[in-house]
Structure 1
Amino acid sequence: MSPPDHGIGFRTLDAETTVAELPVKGALPGWLEGSLLRNGPARYDAGDRSVRHWFDGQAMLHRFTLADGKVSYANRFLDTPANRAIAAGRISYPEFATDPCRSLFARFFTRFTRKPNANANVNVTRFGDRYVALTETPLPVAFDPDTLATAGVVGYEDSLSGQLTTAHPHQDPATGDLVNYLLHFSRTSEYRVYRQPAAGTTRELIGSHQVARPSYMHSFAITRRHVVLAEFPLVVNPLSIVLSGRPFIENYRWEPERGTRFTVMDARDGTVRGTYEGPAFFAFHHINAFDDGDDVVLDICSYEDASVIDALYLDRLRAGGGIPVALPTRYRISLGSGEVGVERLAEEPLELPRIAYERHNGSPYRYAYGVGAGDRDGGGFIDRLVKLDVTTGDTLLWSGEGCYPGEPVFVAAPDAAGEDDGVVLSVVLDAAADSSFLLVLDARTYEMLARAEVPHAVPFGFHGMFSGRS
């Protein structure tokens, strides 16, 4: 008997729901209090037309609040012009792989009038007391964490500019500042690495790096001393984005002969230590990075090539299509010799990685948590949760019949005695039941402690955060 269809996770969810208390099986740890906030696409269909890619669905926020052994739930769309247009049956804004224009004339006309899209459907973070949803355009959208109501786009109080950024800012391990970069497209494009006080909206340039053909990079790495950009050989001529008439990502070209270029920048003064050449590969997500003497160590969820982007087109996923798998891989950059060493950390697939971030971001660590797949040949979909010991390659797995988990979020126990002393939270689609549940695992043993049943199927999302009670 074949497993239930994971295509259910790519249906539009129109209903916005508030549930005061979800049914819970098992028992939550008494210390676990706070809210898991999740972000991801949930609206794909506009009348008789649909967006083309998983990354193009309109943002919906989900909140699971845990206290006194109980779990409440709410979900709400991010209120943006693009979302309102699609709800009204129109695709009016450009997305990652969707062009709003059908005719050649319309493409030509809007080529010079398009406005950035604030469909912040990728991640959530905090700017001090403000919670914001993020995407790859520098338009963070603030929301109320209690009601999930949208408060509007957050403006920056500085002169830094760029068309792209990442939805994965890092917290500087030393200062607590947020660190990210802007990509400014031009004849000679420029990565502009900046820091932002955790409670402010004024960004300060750390340093910049010019490139002729920018790479598509969904995330980057930070250590206690360095910022590292892994420039994969999926690159673009910026002029083609303006003139080709193709959706954004379809202007990028895979050129493996370029290899991967690791640009290492001093996080204090922006000095570029060098650009180091490694083998061609592609990735969405870095796991962690740290300094080891004069070496910089990067752990990355590595794909052989960029074909995973094509596998994530919506029609393929809705038809139950499989996706290539990423393998956890260590790249060791010798700043002295310029050599880049490559080591596979495990043969178990790993994506959407998380660590004990508060204590080990940018520092040596032992454990990573992520999603994986039983079909290592790319014929299946995400169907398990993985815990990886990066020092030994050992793994622990959780899976359930017909279940497809989302990104695991590690929550440390109060006064944690060890790196994995805590729980892992994941929103899991139960395809057979056509519903989802919040799964709580013991992070040490990877055994289930509890699950809270949601009254509908939660579409597959991307990233989230746990906000503990203050």
Structure 2
Amino acid sequence: MNRQKPAKDARAPRYALGFSTLDNEVSGVPLRVEGALPVWLGGSLIRTGPAKFEVGHQSYQHLFDGLAMLHCFTIGGGVVTYSNRFLRSQAYCEAMESGHIARGEFMTDPCRTLFGRVMAFFNPKLTDNANVNVSVLAGQMVALAETTLPVRFDPHTLETLGVLDYDTSIRGQVSTAHPHHDGKRGYSYVIEMGRKSAYRMFADEAGSQRLLCELPVDRPAYMHSFGMSEHFLVLTEFPLRVNPLRLATSNEPFIRNYRWTPEAGTVLTVIEKAGGSVVARAKTAPCFAFHHVNAYESDGAVLVDLLTYPDAGIIERLRLARLRSGEPLDATVRLTRIRVRIGTEAGDAVEAPRETLCPTSIELPRINYARCAGRAYRFVWGTGQTIPGNFIDNITKVELGSDGGARTNTWHQDGCYPGEPVFVARPGGSAEDDGVLLSIVLDTARERSFLLVLDAASLEEKARAAVPHHIPFGFHGNHFPDLVRPDEFA
């Protein structure tokens, strides 16, 4: 493990600031707004992301590893206020008390003996470093990562309130930070790894969880998200798989125990929401993805749209040392559709056709979720690259045409690096793209970040509001108009 805090390198790219620690915490700071906020825009944009990349003389190794910080932009009456606070998870508190990294993360692991690793596997001390997303589970606001330890917090003060416990039937160590909601109930999954491993899909309704189905698995796949249509859930297993016994006995961090096995292909399992029955299994060529974009039903099939890479090499490309060095980020990702025919035998997976919907690379996708999740849609927004090999430096809008083609539009400003564009619909708007996008942008010239407000249809800038410091690059968050409506976010 690297035990030296990275020194500043004059050769480092300007965007390396986004991979540097932020220690400053502020509360309710009013921000100067440039431009004009829409009069109808209110509520709060709340995000989580890594913000501390060193503890003592130890460094985290991967972008997915840094200790989580919450960021809240509250908007109302043309005014924006900003607060940020470290999530006081057990992983954070133990690290601050001990002066060293205390819990294993995605690609960083405290040094342990073989005995210690085996004991940790059967009596897991999972990380609760929830640095990936913010959502609502069991009616409570939570920060999420990829373990089964969602962390509750007060959305007004950002105070950490402790771990949310799942129902006892929802057993597992690994989960997703991307639960789905269909306006009636929420859905998610956990993965139990052990002598007998299983995927467990569950519904979240009225403050409790209900097991939908349990799918035994020999070599669990690494999955970051899943798909949801009107009537079905879609579990997509990429050929990045792990032997659970290896997790217990190797001397490697979590993700380094997974192996790329292209011969396994990519397997999709379609599960009925109502009863948890498996209604189809399909297989397509090997690929990898972090994010599903959407899924919907058409002509007896489920169309599953996701952002695919040819392999899992993107994981290695997101190591902190590599990102800070400015080595080109040259991964190829495409908006891809996989068509799964409903009614196929649930035993043997049938071959599923696959097509590229748009050749433009985008990531961190968002749609008009309240209107289109699980239904046919036209627009997806995400981040992309204007300068080849650069870190993400634009916001891209993709319009899917009825003829199978796609049109794109972008927002880009030299020296600025935007994050995930969160769509907020205009109240009473009739068009799918009638609203604004909210994105946190790193301005490398000023060494500060700002909240960017774009017209979602044209990508015309409406307003921006700078914060008093830089915000490290994060992943996901959501806009909460009244802090309680789960159908508004992904």
Asked if TM exceeds 0.5, the reply is yes
User: Could you say which residue in structure 1 is the equivalent of 2:61?
Assistant: 52
1:4–1:431 Cα contact (<8 Å) kept: no
User: Could you say which residue in structure 1 is the equivalent of 2:193?
Assistant: 185
User: How many matched pairs?
Assistant: 463
| Match among 330, 333, 337 for residue 326 of structure 1 | 333
Mean CA deviation greater in 211-220 or 342-351: 342-351
Give the partner amino acid of 1:348. T
Mean CA deviation greater in 113-122 or 441-450: 113-122
- In the TM superposition, what is the alpha-carbon distance from 1:347 to its structure 2 partner? 1.4
Q: How does 1:5-84 map to 2 (within 5 A)?
A: 5-84=14-93
- In the TM superposition, what is the alpha-carbon distance from 1:275 to its structure 2 partner? 1.8
- In the TM superposition, what is the alpha-carbon distance from 1:282 to its structure 2 partner? 0.3
- In the TM superposition, what is the alpha-carbon distance from 1:328 to its structure 2 partner? 0.9
User: Could you say which residue in structure 2 is the equivalent of 1:293?
Assistant: 299
- In the TM superposition, what is the alpha-carbon distance from 1:104 to its structure 2 partner? 6.7
| In structure 2, distance between residues paired with 1:103 and 1:160 | 30
1:402–1:431 Cα contact (<8 Å) kept: yes
Give the partner amino acid of 2:356. R
- In the TM superposition, what is the alpha-carbon distance from 1:103 to its structure 2 partner? 6.5
| In structure 2, distance between residues paired with 1:107 and 1:183 | 19
1:345–1:390 Cα contact (<8 Å) kept: yes
| In structure 1, distance between residues paired with 2:213 and 2:122 | 30
Question: What is the root-mean-square deviation of aligned Cα atoms in Å?
Answer: 1.9
User: Is 1:85 aligned to residue 91 of structure 2?
Assistant: no
User: Could you say which residue in structure 1 is the equivalent of 2:459?
Assistant: 446
Give the partner amino acid of 1:347. P
Give the SS at the match of 2:452: strand
1:300–1:329 Cα contact (<8 Å) kept: yes
Structure 2, gaps ≥5 residues long: 1-10, 345-349, 484-490
User: Could you say which residue in structure 2 is the equivalent of 1:397?
Assistant: 410
User: Could you say which residue in structure 2 is the equivalent of 1:361?
Assistant: 373
1:134–1:167 Cα contact (<8 Å) kept: yes
1:436–1:454 Cα contact (<8 Å) kept: yes
Give the SS at the match of 1:394: strand
- In the TM superposition, what is the alpha-carbon distance from 1:320 to its structure 2 partner? 2.1
User: Is 1:163 aligned to residue 173 of structure 2?
Assistant: yes
| Match among 380, 386, 409 for residue 374 of structure 1 | 386
Give the partner amino acid of 1:404. Y
Q: How does 1:245-264 map to 2 (within 5 A)?
A: 245-264=251-270
- In the TM superposition, what is the alpha-carbon distance from 1:227 to its structure 2 partner? 0.9
- TM-score normalised over the length of structure 2: 0.91
Q: How does 1:129-140 map to 2 (within 5 A)?
A: 129-140=139-150
| In structure 2, distance between residues paired with 1:393 and 1:440 | 24
Q: How does 1:336-347 map to 2 (within 5 A)?
A: 338-347=350-359
Give the partner amino acid of 1:419. E
Give the partner amino acid of 1:179. Y
- In the TM superposition, what is the alpha-carbon distance from 1:375 to its structure 2 partner? 4.5
Structure 1, gaps ≥5 residues long: none
User: Could you say which residue in structure 1 is the equivalent of 2:448?
Assistant: 435
- TM-score normalised over the length of structure 1: 0.94
Q: How does 1:274-289 map to 2 (within 5 A)?
A: 274-289=280-295
2:117–2:249 Cα contact (<8 Å) kept: no
User: Is 1:217 aligned to residue 223 of structure 2?
Assistant: yes
| In structure 1, distance between residues paired with 2:244 and 2:65 | 21
User: Could you say which residue in structure 2 is the equivalent of 1:350?
Assistant: 362
Q: Percent identity?
A: 47
| In structure 1, distance between residues paired with 2:62 and 2:371 | 35
| In structure 2, distance between residues paired with 1:244 and 1:3 | 34
Change over 3 Å in CA distance of 1:164–1:390 after alignment to 2: same
